Chain A
Amino acid sequence: MDLKELWGKQASSIPDTSELIQKAREFKRNSLWRLVLTNILLLVTSAFIVLIWVYFQPEMITTKLGITLIILAMLLYLLVYNKLFSILGHVDYEASNSEYLQRLLKLKEKQLFLHTTMLNTYFILLSAGICLYMFEYVSRMTVTWGAFSYGITLLWVALNWFYFRPRSITRQQDKINRLIRDFEELRKQLMNQ
């Protein structure tokens, strides 16, 4: 059986290039949309917090420090999110398969590191920021109400730190580790004689 002849029999009509260009546009639009939305959401929140600063004129340094930390947390999140977006979008498809797999592996490891570190730092900054910010207002309350306010806040912080944060990290890790395993498997295929 002549395999080459059989192989070439696969008939195919060449689709119009306009179909291709339309697809390229859709592709770009979809991925850009999420990026833009996240950026807008966090920037609007930051602007809102700045507005609080301007409007309420906090007196204590703790309040100002708290606000700064919260904004810093959001900016950090944005920075890493945008960076991840750009490194994931620019894998070098022009490399040979073995180089490509190697680069993809490095990229996934970087992604794993960035995601975990970013999430930890984000929660620390955010929690510290909120606790500092509250201090000025809590100090004007009675002891009972003050303790209650901090109690609720710390409970929320604990929930985030011990439940949501590890869950998000584990989920991401599972996904990326699975991919790393698969890419390594492919690379092994090329290494084996």
Chain B
Amino acid sequence: MTFEDIYRTHWPKVLRLCIGYVNDPHWAKDLAQETFITVWQRLPKFRNESSIGTWVFRIASNHCLRQIEQEHKMPRSAMPLDIEDVSPPTTDNAMAFLYKSISELPETDRIIISLELEDIKQAEIANIVGISEANIRVRIHRIKEKLTQKFEKFER
């Protein structure tokens, strides 16, 4: 698989993961770009020990986690997309609300739920995050519950 192929297939997925993590389109784009720079640099050494998808998502989620080093420079309140008061719910602001709700979760939960929504198998998510599959299953269940509750309030 060439870099171009990986880039074309995975860019939208990685970008969504990053938007879910930081809830800021520009910041997310920077993060996705950094991810693919790493992918580009490391690709010649990629050994097929995991699937290419798992490998790319590991790099992307680790780049996200590292944002905590920068996050202090940008207070959370300064973030855009504060649409809680907007009504009535349409698809567009429902989507924005979903991304906003995810970005308010604890950091590692943001990664887990983004991967789940991306339709990644739970065994693979476990491999990316580095915890057991059973643990992932429980977590996904809890996160979805939390999100559903938020959506119930949102739709009212």
Contact = CB atoms under 8 A, between A and B. Distances in A.
B42 A93 contact: yes
B138 A98 contact: no
A3 B98 contact: yes
A24 B40 contact: yes
Interface in A168-193: 178-179, 182-183, 186, 189-190, 193
Nearest to B98: A6
A96 interface: yes
Judged by DSSP, the binding face of A is helix
Given A17-B7, A193-B135, A183 B68 contact: yes
B55 A97 contact: no
A12 B108 contact: no
B27 interface: no
Interface string A91-124: 1011111111100100000000000000000000
Nearest to A183: B68
A59 B108 CA distance: 65
A20 B36 contact: yes
Interface of B: 3-4, 7-8, 11-12, 15-16, 19-20, 29, 33, 36-38, 40-42, 55, 58-59, 61-63, 65-66, 68-69, 72, 91, 94-95, 98-99, 106-109, 111, 114, 117-119, 127-131, 135, 138, 144, 147-148, 151, 155
